[in-house]
Structure 1
C-alpha cells in the first residue's frame, strides 16, 4: 500500500490541495487540474505514485535489529540542491568523479535519529540523477544507506569501498594509512561560498585536491563514496535535515560529522571527545529554521584517525603564513 501524502500546489487564482487518493483515477483527476488538463501526464504520474515499491538488500535481509520506534525522530530533505534541480543542467563534466554543479548534485535525504541523545542511527541518501542514457535521455539513480545502532554497523557500500577508506573498528585501516594520508595531503570538498581563510588553509593542506561542489547532501555523499577524505563547511547555513542522513551512514562506516568551530577550539592533548553533531536540541536563542542550523559549521569524515591528522594540519595552516612569533 502506498503511503498517503499531501502536496500544496499553487496555480494562478486558485489554491489546490493535491493528495494521494485511495483510487488512482481520483489522483489523475486532481493532477489534471495542476497540469492544465494534460491527461497523459496525469495518468503517468498517478501510476508511479500508486505503484507498490519494494526494496530488498541481501545485507539488510541477513540481520535483525530491534530499535524501539518511540525513540526515533526523522529529518527529511525532499530536494537538496534545489537550484541545481530547477536549473536542470545535464552536461556538466566531473573532476575526478566530483560534479561541481548540475543534476548530479541533487539528493533526497532521510535521516533517523535518537530523540533522547540526538545520535543519528539510520540514513538514506538517494541520488536520482547519476547517469543519463544518451538514447532515451532517461536517468538512472543510486541509493545509499547506513545503519548504526548499538553493536550493529552496516552500510550499502561496504563491499565497494577500498580498504583505505574503511572503518577503524573493523580493522580495515592498514598500518600505513597515516603515512599515505600525509603523503597525498588529504582531499576535501567545499562550497563555492566558503570563507577565504578556510580555502587558503585547505589549499596549503590539500594542494590541488580541493574540489568545489553544490549541495550539502552531495558533498557529504562524496565523503561517503570515498571520492574525498573530508567535507568541510565553516558557515551556519546547513541544517539538521542537510546532515543527518549522511551522518548516520558515516557513523556506520566508522566516521562521523562534527562541529567545526568546536573542533578548532578543542585541545586534543586533553583527549576531549570529538563534538559530533546532534539532532534533537534546537539552538539556544534562535527562532524559526535557525533553531536547527549547524551553527558551528561542520566536517564530515570517514576515519577518526584521518580527521585528527587533518585538524592538526588545518589548525597549523589557519595561522597566517607571514605571522612572526
Structure 2
C-alpha cells in the first residue's frame, strides 16, 4: 500500500474533480445562493456543496485525520450519497513518496480545504480566477497541495476539456502544468483584486514592479507564479487564512519557490494554529529575501508575525 500522505493527495486529486463539477453545476443552474459573511467576503451554494463533498469524502477515507474547511456548515446536515467520492487518482499513486513522508501517522496530518477560492470573482463572472484548494500539512508544515481550476479552458470551444488539476508534494515535484520562468527583464507583481488598501498598495510599490496584475484567489495567484506570468505575489494584509495558502505553498515549494508572511517567517499549519495569516502573504519563485527586504518597516510593524510553532519537518 502507498504511504498515507500519497493516498491523501491521490484522494484529494480525485475529489477536487468532483468538487469542480459541483461548482460548474451550481453556476449553470444560476442559483448561486449568495450569503455575505463580511465585507467582500461571500459564500455561495457552490462553496457549501463543494466543501461538503470534499470534507465528507476525505473524512470517510481518513477518519483519524484533522480536516479544516473555510465554511461553517451544519455538522448534522445529511450528505447526499452522490457527494461522496471514494476513488483514488492512480497517477499520483505511481509516484515515489519522498523518504521523509513515508512513515507519517494520521495524527501528524492536518488537511486545509478552501472549497472555492475566489468566491467574489465567481459571483462576478471572473471564472478563471476560481480554484479548489486542498492542502496537506505534516507537523505544521505544508507538504502537499491540490489546486483544481474548474474553469480552465472555459472560453474555448465546447469540444475542449474543461478544468485542470495541479498537484505537488514537497521533495517530489508539482504536476499538471508547464513550468516557465518569468521574463528576466521585468518585475511583475500580482496582488489582490478586491481586498486592497493603502498598506497593500505601498508594499507592492516598494517592490519596484514593472507591472501589477490584480486578480482574485490565492490559488490563482500562485498559479500565475509557477507558470512564469509573474515574479512575486505580494499581499500585505491579514486577509488570507490557512486554507487559502496551505495547498498553494506546497505546490510552489515543490518547484523551488517560497511562501512566507511579509516578515519572511514560515507559516504554520498545525491543528491549533490561528486560522488567519496575520503577517500577510509573500510568495516568490526566486530572490525571496530581496522582496522581504523591500517591504517597508512601517508595514511590517502593523502585520503581526505568525509565530505559532510546532515540530517542523523542513
TM-score bracket for this pair, using the shorter chain length: 0.5 to 0.7
Kindly indicate whether residue 115 of structure 2 is the aligned counterpart of residue 86 of structure 1.
no
SS at match of 1:190: strand
- What whole-Å deviation, never above 9, does each CA across 1:231-263 have from its counterpart, x for those lacking one? 111111211001000111111112221111xx1
- The corresponding residue for 1:95 is none
Change (3 A) 1:77 1:119: same
Change (3 A) 1:279 1:17: same
Question: Aligned residue pairs: how many?
Answer: 227
Change (3 A) 1:210 1:52: same
Contact (CA 8 Å) 1:204, 1:317: kept in 2 or not? no
Alpha-carbon RMSD across the aligned residues, in angstroms, is 3.5
Which segment drifts farther, 241-250 or 134-143?
134-143
- CA–CA separation in structure 2 for the residues paired with 1:310 and 1:281: 29
Contact (CA 8 Å) 1:220, 1:231: kept in 2 or not? yes
Counterpart of 1:155 (choices 169, 174, 189) is 174
In structure 2, stretches of 5+ residues that fail to align are: 1-10, 16-51, 58-75, 301-314
Change (3 A) 1:134 1:229: closer
- The corresponding residue for 2:113 is 76
Q: Displacement of 1:106 after TM fit? A: 0.7
Contact (CA 8 Å) 1:126, 1:142: kept in 2 or not? yes
SS at match of 1:206: coil
- The corresponding residue for 1:253 is 255
- What whole-Å deviation, never above 9, does each CA across 1:177-220 have from its counterpart, x for those lacking one? xxx85x42x22111133232442453354344111011222122
Bigger CA radius of gyration: 1
Contact (CA 8 Å) 1:194, 1:234: kept in 2 or not? no
Change (3 A) 1:50 1:240: closer
SS at match of 2:172: strand
Counterpart of 2:241 (choices 220, 226, 239) is 239
Stretches of 4+ moved more than 4 A in 1? 1-7, 49-54, 316-319
Kindly indicate whether residue 293 of structure 2 is the aligned counterpart of residue 312 of structure 1.
yes
Contact (CA 8 Å) 1:201, 1:317: kept in 2 or not? no
Contact (CA 8 Å) 1:256, 1:276: kept in 2 or not? no
SS at match of 1:17: coil
- What whole-Å deviation, never above 9, does each CA across 1:263-302 have from its counterpart, x for those lacking one? 1xxxxxxxxxx4111111645xxxxxxx310011110122
Counterpart of 1:130 (choices 152, 168, 172) is 152
TM-score, length basis structure 2: 0.61
- The corresponding residue for 1:98 is none
Kindly indicate whether residue 276 of structure 2 is the aligned counterpart of residue 275 of structure 1.
no
Change (3 A) 1:195 1:145: same
SS at match of 2:123: helix
SS at match of 2:158: coil
SS at match of 2:288: helix
- CA–CA separation in structure 2 for the residues paired with 1:258 and 1:241: 14
Structure 1 residues 6-155: aligned runs within 5 Å: 17-20=78-81, 55-57=89-91, 61-65=94-98, 66-70=102-106, 71-87=108-124, 89=125, 102-114=126-138, 117-132=139-154, 135-136=157-158, 140-148=162-170, 152-155=171-174
SS at match of 2:240: coil
Structure 1 residues 205-216: aligned runs within 5 Å: 205-216=207-218
Contact (CA 8 Å) 2:258, 2:288: kept in 1 or not? no
TM-score, length basis structure 1: 0.59
Q: Displacement of 1:54 after TM fit? A: 5.3
SS at match of 1:143: strand
Kindly indicate whether residue 221 of structure 2 is the aligned counterpart of residue 203 of structure 1.
no
- CA–CA separation in structure 2 for the residues paired with 1:72 and 1:224: 25
In structure 1, stretches of 5+ residues that fail to align are: 8-14, 21-45, 90-101, 166-179, 264-273, 284-290, 320-325
